[in-house]
Amino acid sequence: MAARIRIHLITFRRPVLLPRAVASLRAQTFGDWVCEVHNNDPEDKNPARLLESLGDPRFHLVLPDRRIGAVEAFNNVHRDAPEPYVSLLEDDNWWEPGLLAALLAAMESHPEAGLAWSNMRIWREREGGVWEDTGRRIWNLSADGPPRLFEWPQMLQFSDAVYSNGSMLLRSRLAGALQTPVNLPADMFEQARERLMSFPILLLPAPLANFSLTLRSARSVDYAVWGSTQALLGGTFLASVPIAPGAAARIWARYRNMRPPSTNSLIFSALLQRDWRFLRQATTRDWLFFLRGALRRPLTAWRILRARSRMADTWRWLSTVTAQRTSEARARGFAELGGDTLIDKQAVGPS
């Protein structure tokens, strides 16, 4: 008989971190699972040696015939499986022992939810293999609070994701619908995949997983790439989601309060979509900050302003899926995004 959960553990050249992730899976209080370990570097023998040393038949090594990128690797996770649920564990993250049991209980108590995920503690890697507990969580919520259902759209989904793929449990019958284009920039795959989901989705406020801010990341360090993905996400959100003035004001306030402020991405988003109403929320200080950045990095600003034409396929795809989610929300009674939406999520860097 099939197990209850299929775990996809993705690894790429992290022989020091992988054992921690594997150990956290084996320590789960719920043990009816199987795990595919996706080694995305076929030349790296360390994952095979680790699994052989375990002697645990629940683990199965998956080796591609070539090195594959992050987007393709995550697409491999989101496909049909014989188990009722699928989950993802990245090699730099690790789980608390009760994660799978809590997520499974939550999903069975909420059959309307297509996906559930838990809050995460945020850790930062320092030189020498030292890990620092930042004392922060992804969500600023009481760990003892009740689960929270989220419908589409939320203010966070302007250019962020509500869910965390590193602590999620997904109904496998919905997994195949979450395939993203293989040329999608890795900087947006979590946010973009959320625009393919069946809503509602369910958050458990307890921090049952650990999120790593690593010294080295697969994400781009080119600000023009990151800025372009943020502008594409924001612009397509503006194109499909009606936003009440109060909600727009809260979005601008949130981005002003980030360190450093991120209001430039709001201005770029509005310019790409030509949403002058949203742009009127920008203050003189916001514009001065924007112009200072554009003058310091004119080529970067020009590349972001041209993102809609440079990345036309991504713009069209995001526009289509964002409009589909909003149309579904309208059928459930959604009219416009209000100003009372929960946005108590930390802005964290990529892992």
Average pLDDT, the chain: 92
User: For the residues of 204-220, what is the DSSP string, one character each?
Assistant: EEEEEEEEEE-SS-SS-
3-state SS class at 330: helix
Residue 347 has pLDDT above 60, yes or no: no
Q: What is the mean predicted confidence (pLDDT) over 76-88?
A: 89
Residue 122 has pLDDT above 70, yes or no: yes
Q: Could you state, in order of their start, the residue ranges of all structural domains in the chain?
A: 5-213, 223-331
Task: For residue 16, give both structure tokens.
Answer: 């020091």
| pLDDT at res. 350 | 39
Q: Where are the alpha helices (DSSP H) in 180-262?
A: 189-194, 223-240, 245-257
Residue 334 has pLDDT above 80, yes or no: yes
Locate tokens 């014989």: which residue?
82
More confident residue, 338 or 206: 206
- DSSP state letter for 84: S
- Beta strands of the chain (E only): which ranges? 5-11, 33-39, 59-62, 85-90, 94-95, 115-126, 130-137, 148-150, 168-171, 201-213
Non-local (6+) Cβ contacts of 52 within 8 A are none
pLDDT, tens digit, 9 for 90 and up, residues 182-238? 889 888 989 999 999 999 999 999 999 999 998 766 555 678 999 999 999 999 999
Q: What is the mean predicted confidence (pLDDT) over 8-22?
A: 92
Helix (H) / strand (E) element for 302: namely helix 298-305
| pLDDT at res. 127 | 87
Tell how strand 201-213 and strand 115-126 pair up: parallel
| pLDDT at res. 18 | 95
Locate tokens 């199987």: which residue?
34
Q: How many residues does the structure list for the chain?
A: 351
Global pTM reads 0.92
Right CATH for 5-213 from 3.20.20.60, 3.90.25.10, 3.40.190.10, 3.90.550.10: 3.90.550.10
| pLDDT at res. 248 | 94
Residue 345 has pLDDT above 80, yes or no: no
- Asked whether the beta carbons of 143 and 206 are under 8 A apart, the reply is yes
Taking Cα atoms as reference points, which of 16, 210, 209 lies closest to residue 129? 16
pLDDT, tens digit, 9 for 90 and up, residues 149-165? 999 999 999 999 999 99
| pLDDT at res. 52 | 94
Residue 351 has pLDDT above 70, yes or no: no
C-alpha to C-alpha distances, 42 to 9, 34, 185, 194, 240, nearest whole angstrom: 15, 21, 23, 30, 42
3-state SS class at 163: coil
Q: What is the mean predicted confidence (pLDDT) over 19-23?
A: 97
- Rg over CA atoms, the chain: 20
